[in-house]
């Protein structure tokens, strides 16, 4: 606990910036989901306070996710009422918690580094592209959209054409000045000034945006209502609580509710695990967050969100990366952003509604640039084509489809390269004379030989000439697929007719095997472990 309080000087400013970014995102995702606008705010509050407190992630921020918007929109229409949909969210939370108990979080560790970094860069590119129209005052597409095809019928690139026909001078002035301030704040000489270390650039940008909005008000340059934050305003504290909605428990026996709940639980869990992995990679301290604990935290969060009228929750990379880049150190920044969101929605919604979207666009443009900066592309290129190609394809797929589809395409490409490398390098083939002449040949099998390696190994054995000596070295192999063992056994029999001498160097103690128990026994012996310790 003392660690959290020691980091308050970093976490408090970061929480305010995350809160400012979260407000329009929560509203925009609710709008895209066909749900009441306040349901997005509820999800943001619960994601911050509940998930933040229960999560093991120090820098992850949870809230409503753009990736679930289409699922939510369809589910509300299919179920016929928002209250029925809320019951599905409650059950989704229960299912998600069970997934955490069953330790399903291990799934997240199977996503390769190239895909995770591609996801981060892809989201960075999308944020950058999607916020440019808002910076020019073209706000037809809602905040929080990550899909290529937009709700206004345009796409990520075609909107630039319509943007140029609808430039708002006031919005352009605000975003330009805001970007200048943010870039200035990033300069080394500014960071050396103690005052500017205490006051974050995004806070200055938002304050200036409100001032300029008030200055332009009443003139022909005034911002319209869709160019500023539009938080629902209650007449009183009692009116604020009337904005909450409760699930319809009479629909507990509706099978459609459970279908929607399972869908939300699976998709939300997958998106959470991906964002958790990505957030850990962005963490300057490289802390590793417990995935199963995160699933349980998200499950409780969705249960509570559904009970009080909120959208489904996941850990979200836009807010998480904003938190990291704003200097957040511990989970207190995520919790406090939820507390600030609750207090502001309850007490000062009218003040929040003065914030221009062009100010927030400038903040997010810089966030997007940092996620997809050129240095990342250079470092990934240096790792080789087998990492760089899945990285690039993941980015392109995310930009031209949506987050989950893009990750799926990136994973397929990454798996292809894994299989290709596995197919290409199942063994090392050595010989002391040219093929075609009798001599000594050595076939060294790799650590893991799968059925995908059958063709290559069989081809190598077939080209060995008569009157040769062949050594099949399996001493380093931990797992050899049964099909490959059969090929070797058949080759031993066939070699007799070709007068080929076959020597097999077996794995120590157990020889060639793909038996898990045999491997465990060998591991115990190799490391001089007691059986109890191995278990």
Q: What is the mean pLDDT of residues 149-169?
A: 87
- Amino acid 1: pLDDT: 57
**Sequence spans of domains, the chain:** 11-111+225-356+373-398, 427-534
Mean pLDDT for the chain? 86
pTM of the model as a whole: 0.79
For residue range 173-210, list pLDDT tens digits in order: 999 999 999 999 988 888 788 777 778 889 999 999 99
Is the CA virtual torsion 158, 161, 167, 171 positive or negative? positive
- Amino acid 533: pLDDT: 36
pLDDT band at 507 (very low <50, low <70, confident <90, very high): low
For residue range 488-499, list pLDDT tens digits in order: 888 888 888 888
CATH architecture of structural domain 427-534 = 2-Layer Sandwich (3.30)
For residue range 9-50, list pLDDT tens digits in order: 899 999 999 999 999 999 999 988 999 999 999 999 999 999
DSSP one-letter code for 228: B
**What CA–CA distance (Å, rounded) separates 61 from 325?**
13
Q: For the ranges 106-110, 269-273, 419-423, which has the lowest average pLDDT?
A: 419-423
Residue 255: is it exposed, middle or buried by C-beta count within 10 angstroms (0-12/13-18/19+)? exposed
Q: Is the pLDDT of residue 516 over 60?
A: no
Stretch (H or E) spanning 469: strand 469-473
Q: What is the mean pLDDT of residues 125-134?
A: 93
pLDDT band at 428 (very low <50, low <70, confident <90, very high): low
Q: Is the pLDDT of residue 534 over 60?
A: no
- Amino acid 208: pLDDT: 95
User: 24-48 burial string, b = 16+ CB within 10 Å, else e?
Assistant: bbbbbbbbbbbbbbbbbbbbbbbbb
For residue range 224-248, list pLDDT tens digits in order: 989 999 888 887 787 888 889 999 9
Q: What is the mean pLDDT of residues 384-395?
A: 93
Percent of the chain at pLDDT exceeding 90: 57
Q: Is the pLDDT of residue 515 over 60?
A: no
- Amino acid 512: pLDDT: 45
- Amino acid 443: pLDDT: 83
3-class DSSP assignment, residue 525: helix
pLDDT band at 106 (very low <50, low <70, confident <90, very high): confident
**What CA–CA distance (Å, rounded) separates 217 from 222?**
5
């Amino acid at each position: 606990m003392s660690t959290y309080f020691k980091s308050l000087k970093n976490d408090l400013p970061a929480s305010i910036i995350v809160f400012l970014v979260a407000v329009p995102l929560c509203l925009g995702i609710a709008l895209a989901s066909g749900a009441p606008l306040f349901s997005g705010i509820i999800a943001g509050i619960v994601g911050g306070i509940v998930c933040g407190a229960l999560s093991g992630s120090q820098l992850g921020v949870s809230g409503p996710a753009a990736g679930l918007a289409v699922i939510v929109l369809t589910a509300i229409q299919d179920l016929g009422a928002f209250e029925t949909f809320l019951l599905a969210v409650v059950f989704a939370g229960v299912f998600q918690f069970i997934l955490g108990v069953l330790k399903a979080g291990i799934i997240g560790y199977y996503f390769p580094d190239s895909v995770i970094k591609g996801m981060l860069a892809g989201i960075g590119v999308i944020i950058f592209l999607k916020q440019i129209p808002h910076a020019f005052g073209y706000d037809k597409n809602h905040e929080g959209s990550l899909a290529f095809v937009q709700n206004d019928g345009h796409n990520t690139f075609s909107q630039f054409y319509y943007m140029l026909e609808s430039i708002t001078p006031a919005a352009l002035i605000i975003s330009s000045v805001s970007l200048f301030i943010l870039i200035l704040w990033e300069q080394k000489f500014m960071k050396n000034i103690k005052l500017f270390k205490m006051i974050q650039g995004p806070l200055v940008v938002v304050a200036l945006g409100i001032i300029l909005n008030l200055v332009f008000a009443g003139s022909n340059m005034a911002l319209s209502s869709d160019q500023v934050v539009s938080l629902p305003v209650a007449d009183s504290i009692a009116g604020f609580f009337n904005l909450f909605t409760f699930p319809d428990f009479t629909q507990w026996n509706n099978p459609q509710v459970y279908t929607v709940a399972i869908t939300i639980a699976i998709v939300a869990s997958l998106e959470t695990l991906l964002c958790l992995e990505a957030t850990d990679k962005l963490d300057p301290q490289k802390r590793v967050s417990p995935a199963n604990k995160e699933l349980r935290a998200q499950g409780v969060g969705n249960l509570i969100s559904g009970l009080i009228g909120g959208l489904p929750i996941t850990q979200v990379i836009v807010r998480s990366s904003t938190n990291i880049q704003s200097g957040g150190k511990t989970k207190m920044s995520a919790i406090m952003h939820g507390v600030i969101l609750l207090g502001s929605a309850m007490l000062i919604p009218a003040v929040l509604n003065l914030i221009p979207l062009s100010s927030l666009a400038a903040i997010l443009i810089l966030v997007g640039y940092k996620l997809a900066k050129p240095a990342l592309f250079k470092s990934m290129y240096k790792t080789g084509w087998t990492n760089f190609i899945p990285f690039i394809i993941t980015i392109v797929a995310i930009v031209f489809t949506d987050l989950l589809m893009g990750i799926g395409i990136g994973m397929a490409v990454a798996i292809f390269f894994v299989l290709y490398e596995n197919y290409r390098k199942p063994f090392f083939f050595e010989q002391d004379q040219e093929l075609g002449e009798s001599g000594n040949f050595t076939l060294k099998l790799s650590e893991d030989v799968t059925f995908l390696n059958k063709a290559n190994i069989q081809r190598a054995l077939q080209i060995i000439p008569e009157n040769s000596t062949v050594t099949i070295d399996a001493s380093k192999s931990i797992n050899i697929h049964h099909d490959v063992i059969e090929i070797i056994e058949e080759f031993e029999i066939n070699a007799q007719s070709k007068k080929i001498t076959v020597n097999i160097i077996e794995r120590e103690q157990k020889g060639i095997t793909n038996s898990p128990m045999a491997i465990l026994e060998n591991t115990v012996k190799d490391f001089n472990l007691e059986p109890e310790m191995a278990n």
